[in-house]
Structure 1
Amino acid sequence: MALQALCGLVSALPAPLPAVAEPLWQAARDAETEMDHDHQNARITKFAKDHQYIADSMQNDPDLHALWMNGVAAVADSWQAERSATDTVSDETADASSKVVPGPIKAIAASTVHLLFETPEAFAWERAQASAMSVAQALKIGDLEYAGPLPVRWRHHSLPREEGVVLKLTAAIPDAPPPEGSDGYPVIVFPNAFSLTVFMFSFKQHEWATKGFIGVSYLSRGWYEAGGYPDMGGPLDMDDASAVIDMVEAHASEWGADPSALAFAGLSYSAGLAVLAAAHDARIKAVASLCGWGNLTNVVDPQGAPNRFYIEGIKLLADIGASRLPAEQIELLDISIHHARSREDWNRDAPRLMSYVDQRSIERFPKKLCRRGTPVFLALNADDGLLTSDAGLQTRQFLHGAGCRVFTMVDEGEHAFSAFPNLMIPSTMLTAFPVNEWLIKGMGYRQPLWQRTFDFFDTFLRGAHGRFEEEAPIQFQLRSSKTGVGMYFAEPTYLGFEEWPPRRSVVTPTAFAMTDSGGLIGSVEGVAHRQRAPGLCDTSIAFGTASGINPGVPILGTVLKTTGGVQSRTFLDKVNRTAAAIYRTPPLERGATICGLPNASLSVLPSRAGRPPHSPGDPPESLPRFQVHTVLFDIEEDGNSAKLLTSGVRNVWMPGVAGLNGGWAGPGTELTVGMHALCVEVPAGHAIGLGVDLFNVYYTPASTDPALRLGLSCDARSRLALPVVNSGDGAPQTHTLL
């Protein structure tokens, strides 16, 4: 036994450690007698073999290597002797052991021994996982404190694929017969997330198994010891997902599983795998995508602006995450980030890039997923810079229109921020610390995402009737206007919407006209606009990498905002007005709640300093390339300090020629820059501001030409559109999901 091995090595050390080891040894030996002796010889052999890898790592230290091997041999000899001895421990010995070893410790030792060796073919690290979870259950650590009454057993399997790829599966199974009258326990399958291991869902697997679900996680191709390359949701990943379902079906009788009630769930990378798998395999009856993607184009090239910061991060994570992306994927990512995008380059490379991302986008397969009425749960993060909330809401609309039953939850925070804390470090583990309240507030442990995900599966796999069906299908967390540690997560409140976009009686699209004096005036409806000829610009801004507008720091900025109340701010008196334009409303007489997708529509004309202006007869491609970065502000009462609310970036690479997302017809047409979703209160006395400049450091710009100029016209096409929540009758009420 691993526990006996540890105790044996400790007993060779000076006192007082042997005095501690002996009672644990006895407790482990007591537990060992409860095991089936028919398997002991196999376990002894397997133990020595599994621990050889540790010995191999000690080859450079002969003394340590010898000590370890001697300890392993001693344990194996001890087991063999016990195998030939009596099958039970005398009452006298058991009583003596109980006097020294507290009951809970003995129970933990027994469950540890049982789980470590219940599956002879399990790898050592897999047994360690099972052991850790058994200890967590015995101590009721974290979320397991709220777990159900069922005991849990673990099973580990290897699933060989082609060319040396071997998927690793670990299953948490209720260790009790399924309820009478049922067809078995429902099954939820979790692929691993990008650069993370098969263990990432262990707490949820175990917790949900105690409540009557079988949780199966698997290490997908390309990560760690699975072998191969990540397929990023391509056909190989889809075949693997179906093979995992085949294995579940093959073990259904042994596990007490009901394969007809099987779902997939994933986080980030694995969320994309989960939804795509549900489209490809009709055996998946429900799917939860937590911070996943819908259209992969929106990841690599949102609005024509390559997502340089996050794509370089993906490459880095792959390099350090026990995997490497294949050369084809690296080349395609580099094309999307760095390509010069001349007409010739684009015509050569775009079809290959488009084909790759299209094959891995759920929006290519809506009929497969939605003609069956598959329930889909989409969880998004409002400030997500990688898999953005605006793209996620577009996916929601796409699937809803195709016939899927879609339920959506939008939380505050960066990518996967509402899912990770309670997934990796369960909340009640912190209760022993004096600062637990600060930690729980600051780190967002009170987010209801996982409970709502569980309720989704409980509803659609077991037919449970509860709170999930009573709540609106779209839940949007309201960002508090207050500041301070953990204010965004201390008491999370939500607005519930029955449909998206919400009815005009609930959320009114409100458009503000831009003026040449830098104002945002009322609603466009009913406002008399001065009609200007196309191309007649009231303001011109120059390209610059330091306009004074703060775009926020990816990841870190959001973490500081949500955990510590530290806001990303722009001080308007420091903005370089040659490189940026600022528009603002007068101070609001009443507070406003903005919930949805803001956008700025601009009438623009690019040019180069020192060159003749564009003429109506000139070809569109003669216009210079440019990038537009828009920022929505909450301007405080001092009129100078402006909090970042949301932003958007759009590139125009070749006017008149559409790229992935960056086309623009040219002068005389509006250019719309979409911004990330938000749901925020702007207090009375504050103003709403819009900043426009030509550079965002986190997205590849279409041009870095210092001679670049962009004219902004104040004709009727230039406006800021905000989804303003009605405050009268019928307006959504704030509520909590906890």
Structure 2
Amino acid sequence: MLRRTTPLAALLTAAAVLAATAPAAASPGSAETRLVDITAADGTALRAAVCEPADPGPHPVAVFVAAWGGGSTQNIMPCRALASRGYVTVSYGARGFGESGGEVEVAGPDDISDVSNVIDWTLANTESDPARIGVGGISYGAGISVLASAFDPRIRAVASMSGWADLVESLFGNRTRRAAVAMVLRISGEQNGNLSDESREMLDKYITGEDRDAVTEWSRQRSPSSYVDRINRNRPAVLMLNTWSETVFPPGQLADFQQRLSTPSKLELIPGEHAAAETSGLLGLPNDAWNDTYRWFDTHLRGAEPDGAPVVLQPRGATDRPREQYPDWRHIATRTDRYFLSAEEELTTDAPAEWSSTLHSGRDTIANGGVPLVTYTLEALTGNPPTAFLPALDPTAAARWTGPELAEPEVLRGSPRLRLTAVPPTPEGMLVAYLYDVDATGTGRLISYIPYSWEGATPGAPLRIDTALPPTAYDVPAGHRLSLVVDTEDPLFFLDHNTDGAPLELRGDAANPATLELASRDGKELP
């Protein structure tokens, strides 16, 4: 079957080609590489690359599941690296992708069973240790790996890079459909793989908005957060590596997931975008994400000393920012700074009187979340978040509140929270909130943003909105100002629309004040 290739899949394929033609490591620490077909429980052939140390075993095992659209050699360079460290490594393409047979089930039950079948084959055909087994992957492979650890107690360590914990939240967070997720799954799945009828049906229903309950249940069955009790009972050590500006799987769900785990775990968040932080490692280049994965496996499969704290954060804003280490997520912020939204378009610490502001729905503004897979990859390389010249904001299509000039830096660590009242003009609609760091020229650097949609609302009746923005680690410099922008359109969320020109009223009063709460800490307290 000839499969077309998307740009991301093309990059991963290039990595595989370079890796497959690279010479094997020389002895000592040499590894032998071979391609095999592993038969799944239902007879599906899964193509896998196997790298084995030349010295006698038994060796610890590392199984890697390829990312969405990838095949057996996608992870070949990390596999060779681990084999040179004494691991038996197996990298395979998930069913329906690459050279593997079967159909793409989007991390369905057969995908989870396949992980166990690959482990079975590895134990039967290599000098491997059944008591020391790790699994991992990027994106699609990451999610499958965490899910598999809930169903196979032999898995002792998991490395999830750019993965998800809650697929329902990824698809329907704040009742807003993520167009970027839909595009990645549906279009690239069709081009690069063999989608099952169920997968095609569910993804089409997601895009059209039909039968949300069925899509939600389908997504829940594919969410590691649905199986926390099983994961805790099996007690694998779970490493999660993700980025602050992740478009496909926002990082807040991983923080929530980690706090529910009683098994050893580690969460690392750095600047960047989906899968961008790990890709250079597929080419065999120095890569922090893969090095952290190797150390995680060494700790939990070979008894090496633990490396670092359970929560590791690299703040946004510069490429050379040192990483901060915390004992858990609850300790990243030490205080809550509260601002009120006022009629004077100010963020103030004084509770204002009753106010309202009306904007015209369905009109886009210069405030937006950026270009998927591009904007925040560039941020990781340059340290510069997306910007907008806020004085040019259309006041008829957006509302804006700006705080006072900061006497000291505002050290943001965690999730900002927005509370306000909206009066929707129609039963269905959406607003998008953006938090900016604004300099003396009026240029805003985007800190965080969130969509919020409603359904079945009574037109003209107040609707209380209470939502957390995605977490961040960002330092707003002294002399800058914070600015909150609310509009009703963003290209990232084009599946949900407002009635063009319909008046959307935003308001606050003494009984229901409109507030912006910031999770912060004193810069002198930073680890």
- Compute the TM-score of the two structures, normalised by the length of structure 2: 0.91
CA contact (8 A) 1:626 1:701 kept: no
CA contact (8 A) 2:365 2:394 kept: yes
| Residue 310 of structure 2 corresponds to residue 473 of structure 1 | yes
Map of 1:509-658 to 2, 5 A cutoff? 509-522=336-349, 527-530=350-353, 532=354, 537-564=355-382, 567-607=385-425, 624-638=427-441, 640-655=442-457
Give the whole-Å Cα distance in 2 for the aligned partners of 1:666 and 1:721.
27
Map of 1:329-340 to 2, 5 A cutoff? 329-339=199-209
Give the whole-Å Cα distance in 2 for the aligned partners of 1:369 and 1:221.
24
Tell me the SS of whatever aligns to 2:234: coil
Note closer, same or farther for the CA distance 1:373–1:636 as it changes in structure 2 (3 Å cut).
Answer: same
1:176 paired residue number: 55
1:493 paired residue number: 322
Amino acid in the other structure paired with 1:476: L
2:233 paired residue number: 371
2:63 paired residue number: 189
1:167 paired residue number: 46
CA contact (8 A) 1:248 1:259 kept: no
Tell me the SS of whatever aligns to 1:538: strand
Note closer, same or farther for the CA distance 1:474–1:130 as it changes in structure 2 (3 Å cut).
Answer: closer
1:631: how far off? 0.6
C-alpha distance after superposition, 1:9-50 (max 9, x if no partner): xxxxxxxxxxxxxxxxxxxxxxxxxxxxxxxxxxxxxxxxxx
Give the whole-Å Cα distance in 1 for the aligned partners of 2:449 and 2:31.
46
1:707: how far off? 4.1
CA contact (8 A) 2:71 2:100 kept: no
Give the whole-Å Cα distance in 2 for the aligned partners of 1:637 and 1:351.
48
C-alpha distance after superposition, 1:551-583 (max 9, x if no partner): 322222122333245542211221111110111
1:462: how far off? 1.2
CA contact (8 A) 1:604 1:670 kept: yes
Give the whole-Å Cα distance in 2 for the aligned partners of 1:599 and 1:289.
27
Note closer, same or farther for the CA distance 1:551–1:129 as it changes in structure 2 (3 Å cut).
Answer: closer
2:149 pairs, out of 278, 284, 299, with 278
Identity, % of aligned positions: 25
2:331 paired residue number: 502
CA contact (8 A) 1:229 1:326 kept: yes
CA contact (8 A) 1:518 1:584 kept: yes
CA contact (8 A) 2:238 2:266 kept: yes
Map of 1:217-232 to 2, 5 A cutoff? 217-232=91-106
2:119 paired residue number: 245
Amino acid in the other structure paired with 1:497: Y
Tell me the SS of whatever aligns to 2:52: strand
Give the whole-Å Cα distance in 1 for the aligned partners of 2:294 and 2:410.
34
CA contact (8 A) 1:496 1:732 kept: no
CA contact (8 A) 1:511 1:721 kept: yes
More helix by share: 1
1:327 pairs, out of 192, 197, 200, with 197
1:701: how far off? 5.2
Amino acid in the other structure paired with 2:342: T
1:602: how far off? 1.5
Amino acid in the other structure paired with 1:412: P
Tell me the SS of whatever aligns to 1:243: helix
CA contact (8 A) 2:47 2:93 kept: yes
Give the whole-Å Cα distance in 2 for the aligned partners of 1:410 and 1:248.
32
Amino acid in the other structure paired with 2:490: N
1:451 paired residue number: 291
Greater shift in the superposed pair: 562-571 or 234-243: 562-571
1:39 paired residue number: none
Tell me the SS of whatever aligns to 2:229: helix
Give the whole-Å Cα distance in 2 for the aligned partners of 1:130 and 1:694.
46
Amino acid in the other structure paired with 1:417: A
Give the whole-Å Cα distance in 2 for the aligned partners of 1:129 and 1:694.
45
CA contact (8 A) 2:378 2:384 kept: yes
CA contact (8 A) 1:627 1:701 kept: no
2:35 pairs, out of 134, 156, 161, with 156
CA contact (8 A) 1:307 1:337 kept: no
| Residue 25 of structure 2 corresponds to residue 137 of structure 1 | yes
1:595: how far off? 1.5
| Residue 245 of structure 2 corresponds to residue 383 of structure 1 | yes
Tell me the SS of whatever aligns to 2:491: coil
Give the whole-Å Cα distance in 1 for the aligned partners of 2:17 and 2:362.
54
Amino acid in the other structure paired with 1:559: T
CA contact (8 A) 2:419 2:514 kept: yes
1:493: how far off? 1.4
1:164: how far off? 5.8
List alignment gaps of at least 5 residues for structure 1.
1-126, 139-147, 179-183, 340-344, 428-444, 481-486, 608-622, 657-664, 734-738
C-alpha distance after superposition, 1:344-389 (max 9, x if no partner): x6xxx23321221111111221111112332111111111100111
Note closer, same or farther for the CA distance 1:244–1:260 as it changes in structure 2 (3 Å cut).
Answer: same
2:514 pairs, out of 705, 718, 723, with 718
RMSD: 2.4
Give the whole-Å Cα distance in 2 for the aligned partners of 1:726 and 1:682.
12
Higher RCO, 1 or 2 (CA under 8 Å, sep at least 6)? 2
CA contact (8 A) 2:271 2:379 kept: no
Note closer, same or farther for the CA distance 1:176–1:241 as it changes in structure 2 (3 Å cut).
Answer: same
Give the whole-Å Cα distance in 1 for the aligned partners of 2:415 and 2:283.
31
1:203 paired residue number: 77
1:325: how far off? 1.8
1:356 paired residue number: 218
Give the whole-Å Cα distance in 2 for the aligned partners of 1:154 and 1:703.
52
Greater shift in the superposed pair: 697-706 or 628-637: 697-706
CA contact (8 A) 1:580 1:691 kept: yes
1:316 paired residue number: 187
Aligned residues: 510
Note closer, same or farther for the CA distance 1:686–1:131 as it changes in structure 2 (3 Å cut).
Answer: closer
Amino acid in the other structure paired with 2:322: T
Q: Choose 1 or 2 for highest CA Rg.
A: 1
CA contact (8 A) 1:192 1:218 kept: yes
2:131 pairs, out of 257, 260, 264, with 260
Give the whole-Å Cα distance in 2 for the aligned partners of 1:161 and 1:453.
27
1:309: how far off? 2.6
Tell me the SS of whatever aligns to 1:195: coil
Give the whole-Å Cα distance in 1 for the aligned partners of 2:489 and 2:219.
26
Note closer, same or farther for the CA distance 1:670–1:189 as it changes in structure 2 (3 Å cut).
Answer: same
Give the whole-Å Cα distance in 1 for the aligned partners of 2:263 and 2:407.
42
2:268 paired residue number: 409
Tell me the SS of whatever aligns to 1:455: helix
C-alpha distance after superposition, 1:610-630 (max 9, x if no partner): xxxxxxxxxxxxx52110101
1:474: how far off? 0.2
2:13 paired residue number: none
CA contact (8 A) 1:338 1:700 kept: no
Give the whole-Å Cα distance in 1 for the aligned partners of 2:29 and 2:271.
34
Give the whole-Å Cα distance in 2 for the aligned partners of 1:287 and 1:726.
34
C-alpha distance after superposition, 1:647-666 (max 9, x if no partner): 1111112238xxxxxxxx99
Tell me the SS of whatever aligns to 1:679: strand
Give the whole-Å Cα distance in 2 for the aligned partners of 1:129 and 1:479.
32
2:304 paired residue number: 464
Greater shift in the superposed pair: 350-359 or 189-198: 350-359
1:314: how far off? 2.3
